Structure 1
Amino acid sequence: MYLRSMSAENYRSLRSIRMDLGPVNLFVGANGAGKSNLYRSLQLIKAAADGRFSHLIAQEGGIYSAFWSGGTKNHQKARIKLTAEIVDEDTGIIYNYAIETGFRIPAGAGFSHEAQIKAEELTIDTGRRPHMLMKRKGGHISVRDENGRMADYPEQAMTSETALYMLGDAGRYPEISTLRHMIGQWRFYHGFRSDAGSPLRRPCLAITAPMLEEDGANIAAVLATLAHTRQDTIDLDRAVYDAFSGAALSIPEPEEYASFGLVLPDFPQRIFQPRELSDGQIRFLALAAALLSYRRPRFIALNEPEASLHPDMLPALAGMIASASADSQVWVVTHSDALADAISERCGVRAKTVIRRDGATWIEGMTLTGRMDDEDD
């Protein structure tokens, strides 16, 4: 699965932006430029697949907080529109998914601050020509049946429900189920809690874990799966050694619970438990579990991963990102020039500088079609 392009309209500081994406996508820029809004727009695409689209906007403060504050022209509908073009590299199939959400109409169903899903479209291109697979307007859904005809779906969608989730869960539409599954594997890591009650600092149930949960709660199981199921921790050991000046992980074989500790070179006879580690140490280990897991997500997004890390840890972090990019498409938002330079050097990519242009988020040097100026030749 490969996210080839994305676009966003009227979402927070994203007035209207479209951009092509590559294997590693690196974003830098000043505070307030809108880097995190680009990241969040893709989180909303995943939320549409998970059935949590309206819930995620509600967590952000509701539709009034999420909508572009610059106003719209009289002939334009006041809607947030997000699109994603996704290529299944195994089959060559290209999926184009779009979702529009807006405000409740007077006396309409739903709640006043709730994001009301107005429209969805899913087209599919198998190499001949694109054709419509699903179209939703209001609560009405049309879907392509086994005979290739658009037919009414028997259920009306509520204003908070996405058709992508409903049909992807119905078992009758394999292409929609495939897309929903692919997007559902995306992972977004926006920092990790490092306080005393953080799930990173607690043992977890000993269940083999192919990838890290977004809150990091299964970190001990992820590390144990690498050590005792795959029995290959070469990349992990190297990253920990480089980041902590010769330290090593201790990962006992789990019984009922999985756990881990850190052996520091100055105290070789002692295993430091997660509750004893610094914020930077525990967050680095969470990033290691995210980037070096048994089965890496097809798409990994990191928002300011350098937070709380000592500068000496950044080269090791960049190395893990480069390693992950062999299997995963990676999206990194950072304030750190040192991290951006290290990623650029290891991955052979140039950082995209996020700026404000006429009050809206834009990428410096990007054309209106979403390509960078130096890619047009």
Structure 2
Amino acid sequence: MAVGHNFIVREIHAANYRSLRSIRFPVGALTVFVGANGVGKTNLYRGLQLLQAAAAGTLALELAREGGMNSALWAGRRRADVPVRIALSAGFGGPASGSDTVYSYRIETGLPAPSGPGAFALEPQIKEETLLFHHGGRATKLLQRRGPALVARDCEEGRVEIARDLLASETALASLDEPQRFPEVHAIRHAMLDWRFYHSLRTDSDSALRRPCLAVTTPTLAADGSNLAAVLATLVHIRKDSAALDRAVADAFPGAVLDIPYPESHASFGMIFPDHPRRVFQAAELSDGTLRYLALMGALMALRLPAFIALNEPESSLHPDLLEPLARLIAQAAERTQIWLVTHSERLALALAKHGGVQPRTVLKKEGETWIEGLTQIGRFEGED
């Protein structure tokens, strides 16, 4: 089996997590979900974060932070004879594999058995975990974990039992980090760890966005935007290409100019506006909307984009006139990486349809369950192959 490194997310499935009773949906180069507050858009977003947490080995911790399994479980009616478990899975393909899933990763978490060893009473416990390679209609198990037992496919010996004392809260995907022996497992984990979630771009007075940062060549924006000044300085002074940044600023703020001085120990940035052409407004002085838009520019225009970018309501704090330029930024970035976003702005969704050539999907709730309009039970949208 050849090991690729440019994995594309093809499909996501989540079951028994909050308002997600059981939902499977395809993922494209640019995936846009729009819906009102309270329909479960954030739960879709959070499901992606939990999958990444499995790759990082922090899934049980993340669920515990939500209040534990009792808070995170589907709150609707459940069959009494079926184990109570949250199931999450992702399908991956190569850039040239069309819509085909080449690898699929699935993990199930549940509550410990009464008086069972290895976990606290309400602690999320990893029950099952698999990584499959799909080829020619067949599925080869690269990793299979049931409880503490772990079997994996070694690149030399084939299927082997792994003598490793896994705790109930540990994921096999994170613990089996031996790239030479298990290259496929390592490659999928590496791809998932490269996902980036941008929902914590704070703009209050104490925000890291408003402060200079250490001057270190920086190709990718941090999840909280704390290295934004270094990302911008890298583009302008290391890559020596400010043309795209200048166009993006002019598109969003006609007549304004982004000021990025050559850094010494720290990098900083400011804006010059046409009303005050001789005055540089530093990051600490910028409005919340202007600062947030510049942070989104840093996320979408950085020198090296993550393998997968997820945006949760990126329109927050933005003036409506900025939504059209934002849609253009997102569409351009989708030519370099995968972008997945949820929004409650119909205006942004329509602009993304126009500039990104995608059909936004409406998220709704029916009988307490989050669903996507036009999605069939087999996980495809009506009218699509």
Q: TM-score, normalised by structure 2?
A: 0.94
| One-letter amino acid of the counterpart of residue 361, structure 2 | K
1:324 to 333, 339, 343: 333
Per-residue CA deviation, residues 276-302 of structure 1 (Å, 9 max, x unaligned), is 111111111111000111011121110
Residues 1:84 and 2:90 are matched in the alignment:
yes
**1:95 matched residue in structure 2:** 103
State the partner residue of 1:141. 150
2:61 to 42, 55, 60: 55
Contact 2:200 2:223 in 1 (8 A): no
- 1:196 aligned residue (200, 205, 208): 205
Q: Tell whether 2:224 aligns with 1:215.
A: yes
| Alignment map for 1:142-161 (pairs within 5 Å) | 142-161=151-170
Query: C-alpha separation between the residues in 2 aligned to 1:280 and 1:59?
Result: 30
Q: Is it true that 1:10 corresponds to 2:19 in the alignment? A: no
Alignment partner of 1:253 out of 262, 265, 286: 262
Deviation at 1:112, TM superposition (A): 3.0
Whole-Å Cα distance in 2 between the matches of residues 249 and 141 of structure 1?
53
The whole-number CA distance in structure 1 between the counterparts of 2:153 and 2:142 is 5
Q: Would the aligned equivalents of 1:211 and 1:290 in 2 still touch at CA under 8 Å?
A: yes
Task: Give the secondary structure class of the aligned counterpart of 1:374.
Answer: coil
Counterpart of 2:245 in structure 1: which amino acid? L
1:1-377 alignment runs, 5 A limit: 1-89=7-95, 94-108=102-116, 109-125=118-134, 129-168=138-177, 172-376=181-385
- Which letter maps to 1:104? P
* TM-aligned CA distance change 1:149 to 1:169, over 3 Å: closer
Determine if contact 1:141/1:156 at 8 Å carries over to the other structure. no
Give the partner amino acid of 2:76. Answer: G
Aligned-residue offset at 1:169: 5.2
Would the aligned equivalents of 1:84 and 1:96 in 2 still touch at CA under 8 Å? yes
Task: Confirm or deny: 8 A CA contact 1:93 1:127 kept in the other structure.
Answer: no
Contact conserved, 2:17 with 2:73, CA < 8 A, in 1?
Answer: yes
SS in 2 for 1:164: helix
Displacement of 1:127 in angstroms is 5.4
CA apart distance, 1:363: 0.6
Shift of 1:230: 1.5
Post-superposition offset of 1:50:
1.4
Give the Å deviation of 1:196: 1.2
Conserved? CA contact 1:262–1:273, under 8 Å: yes
Q: How many residues align?
A: 376
* Structure 1: 4+ residue segments shifted above 6 A: 90-93
Aligned partners of 1:54 and 1:115 also within 8 Å: yes
AA aligned to 1:99 is I
> Identity percentage over the alignment?
50
Query: Hey, what's the Cα distance between the residues in 1 that align with 2:340 and 2:160?
Result: 38
How many Å apart are 1:126 and its aligned residue?
5.1
SS in 1 for 2:280: coil
User: Which residue type is aligned with residue 102 of structure 2?
Assistant: I
Query: Residues 79 and 316 (structure 1 numbering): CA distance in 2 closer, same or farther, change over 3 Å?
Result: same
What is the CA-CA distance between 1:111 and the residue it aligns to? Answer: 2.5
Shift of 1:372: 1.1
SS of alignment partner, residue 180 of structure 1 = helix
CA–CA distance in structure 1, aligned partners of residues 84 and 315 of structure 2: 36
SS at match of 1:168: coil
What is the distance in 2 between the residues matched to 1:220 and 1:172? Answer: 40
Q: CA deviation at 1:114?
A: 2.3
SS at match of 2:109: strand
Q: Could you tell me how far 1:168 is from its partner in structure 2?
A: 2.7
- Residues 320 and 270 of structure 1, relative CA distance in 2, 3 Å threshold: same
**Which letter maps to 1:261?**
G
Q: 1:141 to 1:86 in 2, by over 3 A?
A: same
Deviation at 1:187, TM superposition (A): 0.7
Q: How much has 1:113 moved relative to structure 2?
A: 3.3
The separation in 1 between residues aligned to 2:96 and 2:187, in whole angstroms, is: 12
CA deviations over 1:256-294 (Å, ceiling 9, x no partner) = 111111111111111111111111111111110001110
Tell me, in whole angstroms, the C-alpha distance in 2 between the residues paired with 1:167 and 1:127.
27
Corresponding letter in the other structure for 2:345: S
Structure 1 counterpart of 2:106, one-letter code: A
Q: Output the aligned Cα RMSD.
A: 1.7
For residues 23-56 of structure 1, give each alpha carbon's deviation from its aligned partner in whole angstroms, at most 9, with x where no partner exists. Answer: 1111111111111111111111111111221122
The aligned amino acid for 2:273 is: L
User: Contact 1:239 / 1:317 at 8 angstroms: preserved in 2?
Assistant: no
Q: What SS does the corresponding residue of 1:58 show, helix, strand or coil?
A: helix
**Structure 1 residues 249, 120: CA separation in 2 closer, same or farther (over 3 Å shift)?**
same
Provide structure 2 residue ranges, at least 5 long, that are not aligned to the other structure.
1-6
